[in-house]
């Protein structure tokens, strides 16, 4: 039996894989501290859970409109108007089965063989495989640590060819936490205005942002870019709703209706109950978001400071999301008990086996010099985990 070429060209998500490995060790009684997970450790807010329960009790359990219920699309239109000063009609909104599904759908309706899609590295693990699954070619553009891992206008310009179909931009970024400022985006907009390509703006970490930094995207920055910028978003990270699987997009009408068509032949509607919960999340009180961001901020400061105190580790201060991406490459070539570390993957394995901490190798994100730590675990676990990391690193000679 032979599987399709398509699926053989991609590997399973490394972050999901690592998470499963850490969970299996935990289940076997090993005291593993996991910096691997990309999900908030907070509970879904009570009023959101209640909306879900009410939906079940009210028998809101049947198929809904493929592209999402009108009530949720209205809440999303209002969110964009309120938070981003962007005007959309409900026809431009499609609700999907998670933010990952939002981006997958977009790659399927926008890209095909012969297309190139520019992806700045470090990138979220799923962008290149999704582009490949659509038959197109990911063009990875490495950004520089010295520039806060942000794509510059010059780097973008140099990567554009006649085959370029789109740029995928993610701010705040997973894995680096980098946030593009208005000035950063203005420079990029200058290049995009001269080159007619699509932009997928993955704004899923919009609300997890620190130090009073203001969030911008290319659509709200430049009116001329709005007709070819698609915003991919979701409720997972902002409202601690990773398991509910609701993502959404704001797109030009023809893209939105193409995505609805694809969805009508693949998943049908996103979960009816989760849609009702998402309405409550978007329309309800936002104080849980503020509390979560304040907790993340405390951990972020602790991690950055502690990592930078470790010999041979260099860690920039991320402006958003809940990850740090320290450079650990000074340990490459070093050994402990006959085991030599050749790169981020070896180091992650070493830390899991020797220090019982799970970190994600930077190679999974297209940058082998670093590892990613998610601080969506308690401050106490962050502290214990970093102590173990420092001890294990000090044994590498
Ligand atoms: C950058 C980025 N985009 C999109 C997603 C998708 O999130 P979800 O499918 O949980 O809504 C994630 C999740 O890790 C992410 O990190």
pLDDT at residue 14 above 90?
no
**What's the 332 CA to ligand 1 centre distance in angstroms?**
30
Q: Which residue has its alpha carbon closest to ligand 1 atom 14?
A: 38
Q: What is the pLDDT of residues 330-350, one digit of tens each?
A: 999 999 999 999 999 999 999
**What's the 211 CA to ligand 1 centre distance in angstroms?**
23
pLDDT at residue 308 above 90?
yes
| pLDDT classification of 357: cutoffs 50, 70, 90 | very high
pLDDT at 37: 82
**What's the 148 CA to ligand 1 centre distance in angstroms?**
21
In the chain the domains, ranked by start, together with CATH numbers, are 5-43+288-394 (3.90.1150.10), 47-283 (3.40.640.10)
Looking from the CA of residue 99, the nearest atom of ligand 1 is 11
228: DSSP letter: G
Looking from the CA of residue 124, the nearest atom of ligand 1 is 1
Give the separation between CA 347 and CA 324, rounded to whole angstroms: 16
Q: Which residue has its alpha carbon closest to ligand 1 atom 11?
A: 99
Looking from the CA of residue 103, the nearest atom of ligand 1 is 4
| pLDDT classification of 22: cutoffs 50, 70, 90 | confident
**What's the 99 CA to ligand 1 centre distance in angstroms?**
5
Helix, strand and coil in the chain, % to nearest 5: 45, 15, 40
Residues 225/219, Cβ–Cβ less than 8 Å: yes
Task: Indicate the top mutation candidate among 19, 174, 208, 239 to test ligand 1's pocket, ranked by most ligand atoms within 8 A of CB.
Answer: 174
Strands 229-234 and 247-250: antiparallel
Q: How is residue 167 written in tokens?
A: 């740029």
| pLDDT classification of 392: cutoffs 50, 70, 90 | very high
Looking from the CA of residue 236, the nearest atom of ligand 1 is 11
List strand residue ranges (DSSP E) for the chain, in order. 33-34, 93-96, 116-121, 137-142, 164-170, 198-202, 229-234, 247-250, 323-324, 335-336, 339-340, 357-358, 360-361, 371-374
Give the separation between CA 266 and CA 105, rounded to whole angstroms: 10
**What's the 72 CA to ligand 1 centre distance in angstroms?**
20
Cis upstream peptide for 154 (omega within 30°)? no
pLDDT at residue 26 above 90?
no
Give the separation between CA 186 and CA 225, rounded to whole angstroms: 11
Q: How is residue 43 written in tokens?
A: 């509970």
pLDDT at residue 17 above 80?
no
pLDDT at 12: 83
Task: Indicate the top mutation candidate among 98, 205, 237, 376 to test ligand 1's pocket, ranked by most ligand atoms within 8 A of CB.
Answer: 237
**What's the 122 CA to ligand 1 centre distance in angstroms?**
15
Average pLDDT of the segment spanning 96-116: 98
Collapsing DSSP to helix, strand or coil, 167 comes out as strand
This prediction's pTM: 0.97
Residues 6+ apart with CB under 8 A from 324: 177, 300, 303, 304, 307, 315, 318, 372, 373, 375
pLDDT at residue 16 above 80?
no
CA trace torsion 293, 299, 301, 303 (10° rounding)? -140
pLDDT at residue 20 above 90?
no
**What's the 204 CA to ligand 1 centre distance in angstroms?**
7
**What's the 201 CA to ligand 1 centre distance in angstroms?**
12
pLDDT at 25: 87
Q: What is the pLDDT of residues 52-81, one digit of tens each?
A: 999 999 999 999 999 999 999 999 999 999
**Span between the terminal Cα atoms of the chain, in Å:** 48
Task: Indicate the top mutation candidate among 99, 127, 267, 320 to test ligand 1's pocket, ranked by most ligand atoms within 8 A of CB.
Answer: 99
pLDDT at residue 240 above 80?
yes
Which residues have CB under 6 Å of ligand 1? Answer: 38, 98-100, 124, 170, 174, 202, 204, 234, 236, 242, 247
pLDDT at residue 174 above 90?
yes
Looking from the CA of residue 234, the nearest atom of ligand 1 is 11
Residues 172/324, Cβ–Cβ less than 8 Å: no
Q: Cα 36 vs. chain centroid, distance in angstroms?
A: 13
**What's the 103 CA to ligand 1 centre distance in angstroms?**
9
């Amino acid at each position: 039996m032979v599987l399709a070429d398509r699926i053989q060209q991609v590997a399973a998500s490394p972050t999901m894989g690592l998470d499963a490995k850490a969970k299996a060790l935990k289940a076997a009684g090993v005291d593993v501290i996991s910096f691997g997970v990309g999900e908030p450790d907070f509970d879904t807010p009570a009023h959101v859970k209640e909306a879900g329960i009410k939906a079940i009790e009210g028998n809101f359990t049947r198929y809904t409109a493929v592209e999402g219920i009108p009530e949720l699309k209205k809440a999303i239109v209002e969110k964009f108007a309120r938070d981003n000063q962007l005007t959309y009609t409900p026809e431009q909104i499609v609700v999907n089965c998670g933010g990952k599904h939002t981006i997958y759908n977009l790659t399927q309706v926008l890209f095909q063989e012969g297309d190139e899609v520019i992806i700045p590295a470090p990138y979220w693990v799923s962008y290149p495989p999704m582009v490949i699954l659509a038959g197109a070619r990911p063009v990875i553009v490495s950004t520089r640590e010295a520039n806060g891992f942000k794509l510059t206008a010059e780097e973008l310009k140099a990567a554009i060819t006649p085959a370029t179909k789109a740029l995928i931009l993610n701010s705040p970024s997973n894995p680096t936490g980098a946030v593009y400022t208005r000035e950063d985006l203005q420079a990029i907009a200058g290049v995009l205005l001269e080159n007619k390509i699509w932009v997928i703006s993955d704004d899923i970490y919009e609300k997890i942002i620190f130090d009073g930094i203001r969030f911008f995207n290319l659509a709200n920055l430049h009116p001329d870019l709005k007709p070819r910028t698609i915003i991919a978003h979701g409720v997972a990270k902002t409202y601690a709703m990773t398991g509910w699987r609701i993502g959404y997009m704001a797109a030009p009408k023809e893209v939105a209706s193409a995505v609805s068509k694809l969805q009508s032949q693949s998943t049908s509607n996103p979960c009816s109950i989760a849609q009702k919960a998402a309405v409550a999340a978007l329309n309800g009180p936002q104080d849980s978001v503020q509390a979560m961001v304040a907790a993340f901020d405390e951990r972020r400061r602790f991690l950055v400071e502690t990592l930078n105190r470790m010999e041979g580790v260099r860690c920039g201060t991320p402006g958003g999301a809940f990850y740090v991406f320290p450079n650990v490459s000074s340990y490459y070539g070093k050994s402990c008990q006959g085991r030599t570390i050749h790169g981020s993957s070896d180091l992650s394995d070493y830390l899991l086996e020797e220090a019982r901490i799970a970190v994600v190798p930077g190679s999974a994100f297209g940058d082998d010099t670093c590892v990613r730590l998610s601080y969506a675990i308690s401050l106490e676990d962050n502290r214990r985990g970093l102590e173990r990391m420092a001890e294990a690193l000090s044994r590498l000679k």
